[in-house]
Amino acid sequence: MKKYVKVLVATGLSAGVLLGTVATSNAVDGTAQAAKEMKKPYYSYKGVFNHKSNDALKDKYFYQALKADNFKYEGLKVGESTKADMEKAWGKDVKSDGVEGGITYYTQNGVILGFDANDKLVDLALRVNEIKDNEKDIKAHVNSEGFYDAGMTQVSFFPGDVIVITAKDRVAQQ
C-alpha cells in the first residue's frame, strides 16, 4: 500500500511541476506577445505639408498611423499637445486666425491648428489641395466613408481639400 501512495505522490508532484512549468511558459509567451501587439504604427511629419511633390498621401504608414491615433505634425499630437508645444515648434510670433466656438485657430504652411480654452490641441487640418494626385491617393487608402474613428481622435478625409484630425473630447462653446 505504501508503494502505491509513494507512486501517487510522485506522480502528483511531477504532474504539478510539469503543469506549473507549462503555465509559466505560456504566461511568459503571452507577455511577449502582448509586448509585440502594443507597438502601434506611427508617422511624424515636419515641414510644409501642402506641396505638389508631397508623397505622404501615397504612404500606407501615414494612413495606418492616423488609424492608430499615432500621427504627429511638427511633434504636435491632437488631444495631447498644448499651445506651448506649438510655440516651441512654430515660434512665439504665430498670430491667431480667430476664434470660433471657443476654439482659437492658427495657420502656418497650409496646416491649421485649433486650441480649446485649456490650450489643448483639439483640431489639426492638413490642407491637401496642392498635392499632386491627392484625390486618387486618399481614395486608394481610405474607406468609402472617408472617416477613421481612432482612440482619442476622429479623422475625416475630404479629397481635393483637407484632412481633419479632431480630438474626441473637443468641446466647442456656443
**Same-domain pairing of 151 and 69:** yes
Q: What is the pLDDT of residue 110?
A: 87
Tens-digit pLDDT profile for the chain (174 aa)?
A: 445 444 444 444 444 444 444 444 455 555 555 555 667 889 999 989 999 999 999 999 999 999 999 999 999 999 999 999 999 999 998 999 999 999 999 999 889 999 999 999 999 999 999 999 999 999 999 988 899 999 899 999 999 999 999 999 987 665
Q: What is the pLDDT of residue 36?
A: 58
In a domain, 173, yes or no: no
Q: What is the pLDDT of residue 43?
A: 94
Instruction: Answer positive or negative: Cα dihedral of 118, 74, 53, 166.
Output: negative
**Same-domain pairing of 53 and 77:** yes
**Same-domain pairing of 76 and 126:** yes
Instruction: Answer positive or negative: Cα dihedral of 95, 84, 167, 109.
Output: positive
Q: How many CB atoms lie within 10 A of CB 97?
A: 14
CA angle 86, 47, 150 (to 5 degrees): 65
**Same-domain pairing of 98 and 137:** yes
Domain that holds residue 20: 1-39
- Distance, CA of 67 to CA of 40 (rounded, Å): 10
Q: What is the pLDDT of residue 144?
A: 81
**pTM for this prediction:** 0.76
**Same-domain pairing of 7 and 21:** yes
Beta bridge partners of 149: 154
In a domain, 66, yes or no: yes
Q: What is the pLDDT of residue 143?
A: 84
Tally of domains in the chain? 2
**Same-domain pairing of 21 and 103:** no
